[in-house]
Amino acid sequence: MPFGPLADLLLVLHGAFVLFVLAGGLLVARWPRVAWIHLPAALWGAAIEFAGFTCPLTPLEQAWRHAAGSGGYEGGFLEHYITAALYPSGLTRTIQIGLGVLVLGVNAWVYWKVWHRRT
């Protein structure tokens, strides 16, 4: 089985999910029915950050990378791919909570604007 390409595909999907969690409210502004998908995704993303959990996609990607013969990595998706680029010192609990607040804040603002526009 082609575990390397599967891991790469999962990485792209995981990244797309993270972008959707953060900025999917902008899609809701255009297509309000997207809220039925975005709101649970945004709450999930914020809950992962607030609780300090690892998204289930990360261990799956790591397992597929190991099965492909390459080394996995320590930590979660955000730590390895995003935080390493933005914050070389690593993902701290404070940054993780800040990311959760950012997700909720951005999306609450967009939903408020959508709600205000529709009423």
Residue 37 has a pLDDT of 96
How does 61-85 read in b/e, with b if 16+ C-beta sit within 10 Å? bbebbeeeeeeeeeebbbbbbebee
Residue 90 has a pLDDT of 64
Residue 12 has a pLDDT of 83
| Total structural domains within the chain | 1
Residue 23 has a pLDDT of 86
Pick out the chain residues at pLDDT < 70: 71-91
Residue 36 has a pLDDT of 95
pTM for the model: 0.72
Instruction: Give the domain extent around 53.
Output: 3-118
Asked if 104 and 41 touch (Cβ cutoff 8 Å), the reply is: no
